[in-house]
Structure 1
């Protein structure tokens, strides 16, 4: 049964609140001499990842919409394939950036329907910048969160709408990762006919740079998972920026059997 716009708006507010409060948990750990574990895939894990995940789950479980989170045990695809909609969550995107203490890490929450991202929320705990779509996924916004905030609806009414750049003047600003500027990425940049400039950012902030007009294109020729991209994809899609597979030119899909993304372009 399709959700009504009012219901989706309530889901958006719930996800925004979950992201901001998860960010507070992350910052509490950030201020300590935290330990770093290694997961089975050799990716790092901290107490901040775990605590943020618990906070987000506590909010999203109440919506009765199933959750795919990096830090949850994954549900078997034979069950997942029947989900019409689901949350896709990365409670701490950019754990490597968190460990380096460079501030470029985020909380990512997306609502996906039939494989397509509908809502996207990205929160940056250090700068308190919040990026999000509206409840119908047709606009995206940015808001700097105040510690005294009590009414989350205030954010919806007072956030600044963001837009991608329309400038064709060189240089072409290409978003690159501090960790993943590999040969394929270098070859893509070399293929551009205009003068280029590399804009480095960690985590899902790379999507935000394109969505708010601070970069033109983000090529990703390195492994990512669905929880790394779903929220950023929603935010970009809402402002008319495409997030497409490099091989087919078709949009990334979500809640796939394999949660690994193919290589993609954001432009």
Structure 2
């Protein structure tokens, strides 16, 4: 059975690889889809793959930086690791600290466990079905002996209590018309709406933590961008639903590009 402490240790090693590059000069490549790629993405990917294959050789891995795996090969997977070795490469390049390592376990098309580690912040978010969602700050400085020890030393999510202000996670600088329309619909219900911003999968973490009530994503993402975040949000009692039919978000589709979705608590 997959263990959260094992995933934590793998994500911390990957985070160290990222930070080693972060503190140096590095070159930025551009992938076929125009997204940026650095040596940090590749070093993190290799660290995670090595760790997962050593600990769980029977579970296949689908990673952003891994080889393209044909749908015919993966369509019958009962479980697999869904990995984004460096989510928020643009944030990494800007050096604002808001980038993450994302690892999720997908079982029967849904995430059942996930870790998100923000190495520049040294903060870990994690969640597991039927166990809850948690946050641990200064994780690299915390001695951890077991999964139980990890849980005991972490704060259970959500952390904040009800507020009469509705908080929405969105980009202040690149607000889409559809997101503005969503915010306007909240205001029509006589709610005071505050817009908060965050990079990478930390937007999911804000909802899980209770610092945000909604995260409307009305723009393209990929499966590896969302798997770990969904695991943590759902473990903390929130929901991630598809925009088109309000059904629960699921994974291992033939086309790995996500449609629009809404995260809420």
User: If the length of structure 2 is used for normalisation, what is the TM-score?
Assistant: 0.92
Unmatched runs of 5 consecutive residues or more in structure 1: 1-6
1:217-259 per-residue CA deviation (whole Å, 9 max, x = no partner) reads 0000000001000000000001110100111110111111111
Per-residue deviation, 1:158: 1.2
Contact 2:84–2:103 (8 Å) recurs in 1: yes
Are the aligned partners of 2:103 and 2:116 in contact in 1 as well (CA < 8 Å)? Answer: yes
Give 1:5-154 correspondences, 5 Å limit. 7-8=1-2, 10=3, 12-62=4-54, 63=56, 64-134=58-128, 136-149=129-142, 151=144, 153=146, 154=149
Distance 1:164 1:149 in 2: 20
CA contact (8 A) 2:78 2:107 kept: yes
User: What is the alpha-carbon distance in structure 2 between the residues aligned to residue 167 and residue 150 of structure 1?
Assistant: 33
1:237 to 2:227 alignment = no
Alpha-carbon spacing, 1:59–1:178, altered in 2? closer, same or farther (3 Å): farther
Q: Tell me what 1:157 maps to.
A: 152
Aligned partners of 2:123 and 2:139 also within 8 Å? no
**CA displacement, residues 109-163 of structure 1 (integer Å, 9 cap, x when unaligned):** 00000110000100000111000014x4430111123445554524233111111
Query: Out of 243, 255, 258, which is 1:258 matched to?
Result: 255
Inter-CA distance 86–179: structure 2 relative to 1 (3 Å threshold):
farther
> Contact between 2:12 and 2:140, CA under 8 Å: does it hold in 1?
no
Structure 2 CA distance, aligned partners of 1:20 and 1:263?
A: 30
> What is the alpha-carbon distance in structure 1 between the residues aligned to residue 111 and residue 28 of structure 2?
31
CA distance in 1, matches of 2:144, 2:230: 27
Whether 1:217 and 2:185 are equivalent positions in the alignment is no
Classify 1:148/1:128 alpha carbon distance in 2 versus 1 (closer, same or farther; 3 Å): closer
Equivalent-residue separation in structure 1 for 2:111 and 2:205 (angstroms): 15
The change in CA–CA distance for 1:150 and 1:90 in structure 2 (over 3 A counts) is same
Count of aligned pairs: 257
> Superposition RMSD on alpha carbons, in Å?
1.6
- Is residue 31–residue 37 contact of structure 2 (8 Å, CA) maintained in 1? yes
